[in-house]
Every structure is written in C-alpha cells, then in structure tokens.
Homo-oligomer: A and B are copies of this chain.
Amino acid sequence: MVAPASRMASEVAQRVLALARSLYRESPPEIVFHPQCFASYGHFAGDDDRRAQALLEVANDESYDAVWFARGGYGSCRIAEVVMRGLLEPSRQKTYLGYSDAGVLLAALYGAGFATIAHGPVAQDILREGGDAAVGRALAWLVDRSLAALEPMAGSGRRTAAFNMTVLSQLLGTSLQPDLDGHVLMLEEVGEAMYRIDRLLFHITSNSGIRRVSGIMLGRCSAITPNEPDFGMNEEEIARFWCRRSGIPWLGRADIGHDSANKIVPFGSIPPPPPTASS
C-alpha cells in the first residue's frame, strides 16, 4: 500500500488488516502499509519525492504482487512523470488498484502497456458506510481475481476503462492521456455542481481520442453541490446529451462511484488470475 496523493487516515491500516484476517482466516493476504501512507506534507502524504520513491520502491520490488493505492485525494499528477521514468521490470508483473485521483497513475501505467490495472476501491474506503464491502471487493480482486467483484459490463468481456470525470479531463491533451480506442469508458463524479459535470462531459466528449471509445457509461455522481439556478438536467440527461452531440454511443449506467458499491473495472480486457490466486 502506497499513497500517491493525500494522506491515509491512521485507523485505516488496522481496520483493513482486521478485515483481511476475518475474510481469509486460513491464509490472509499479507498487506504491507508503506510508512509513507502516514506521512504528511501540506495537502499530501509526504512531498513529491517521498511519494514517488515509495511507489517506486514497492512497484520495483519482486516480493510484492500488487500495488494497492491507499486513497485518492489529490497529488498523483505531481509524481506521475518521475514514477513512470523509474519503473523497472518487476513493476510490469504487478496488479494495480485504485480510483479517483489515482486514475492519473492508472492512465499512465495503462499507456505504458501495463496489463493488470483496475479501477476500484482504495483502502481508505473502509471508512465509508458499508466500507467493509468495498475493501472486501478490492481484496477479492487482488487476491483471487473474483469475477463477482467486477462491474457487470467489465465482466462481459468487453474492453473497459473507468475514470473520475475531473481526473480524466485533466489528462486530456497531455502525454498521460490514455489510448481508449474501442473501450467502454465509464465515468463517475463526486462533489461537483451540475454545470461542472456538463462542462466536464463537453470536454471529455470533444476530444478526438475519446470519440473513438466504443461507448460511454455513467457511474454514480454523488454529493453534487447546489447549482444556482437549477441546471434543468440531471447527470444522466447531461451524459446522454453529450453522447448524442459527439456521436459516442450511450451505453447506460455503470456500477461505479465514490461509494462502497464501487465495482472493479479492469483497464482493457479481464486479466488472467494472479500467480497467487487462492493461495
């Protein structure tokens, strides 16, 4: 576990370890929280160098099977370039899991051809209402590649990708923008006003690369802040509008969001089981 953006709450480690023990009594997965998860530097879990080095240390170490992002928040974009330059061969064999701000790193890793990347719960989700289910789902994916953890469309065998709208928007037109040709693109949002969701979907659907996706699905948009005056459309009407405008197929709702029900969405096709599955 590393925290490429904001600091993880201190109680998360114990709760995640306790949950793992209760779920995998016979052989609990070994979960190592890098001390950097608890570091603090202004907005971040340590300064840029510390966060980048912690991620590289774990990713480049053959003894770990996965890099699980402790939480989102903000800060991954500040370290993505250094991280991508420092990744060595062992990092390519690992599973990566996170969402929200960590989407910056998922995009960069996917763009670099890493095969086993997924959008899904972070450790800090254990603090949510019903958070044990989210973290249990993350473990089911990391440890056993449980197909039950997958978002239904992702489980159907189509190539997929998932992002927070703002995070994807802030990658468009940069070298970190992922090639999503032919992918089903799932988008979720949290804490934005409806006019901003409209503007984000204008931005995303106006990008020529994004227009080559096979379709867009809308995850949950939660904690929407007040729009003054009322925007006159809800998030689904907005998503349908921009799909129609841009010619991108609208494929309905996706079972992802900033909540405990957030399902796993692998980037690309479903990867094979990990070497340690059911161990």
**Which A residues form the contact surface with B (CB < 8 A)?**
40-43, 74, 77-78, 169-177, 194-195, 198-200, 202-203, 206-209, 227, 229-233
Contact B169 A206 (CB under 8 A): no
Contact A175 B206 (CB under 8 A): yes
Other CB < 8 Å A-B pairs besides A42-B233, A78-B198, A169-B169, 19 of them?
A40-B229, A42-B229, A42-B230, A42-B232, A43-B194, A43-B231, A43-B232, A74-B199, A77-B199, A77-B202, A77-B206, A170-B200, A170-B202, A170-B203, A173-B174, A173-B207, A174-B206, A175-B206, A176-B206
Q: In the complex, what distance in Å separates the CA atom of A170 from the CA atom of B195?
A: 13
A172 in contact with B175 given A43-B229, A195-B74, A227-B43 (CB within 8 Å):
no
User: Which residues from chain B contact A43 at a C-beta distance below 8 Å?
Assistant: 194-195, 227, 229-232
User: Which residues from chain B contact A171 at a C-beta distance below 8 Å?
Assistant: 203
A264 to chain B, nearest CB (A): 26
Looking at A74, A194, A207, A232, the one whose CB has the most chain B CB atoms below 10 A away is A74
The list of the 5 closest CB pairs from A to B, nearest first, reads: A42-B232, A173-B173, A172-B173, A174-B206, A170-B203
User: Which residues from chain B contact A195 at a C-beta distance below 8 Å?
Assistant: 43, 74
Q: In the complex, what distance in Å separates the CA atom of A41 from the CA atom of B230?
A: 10
Q: Of B42, B200, B207, B232, which one neighbours A174 at CB under 8 angstroms?
A: B207
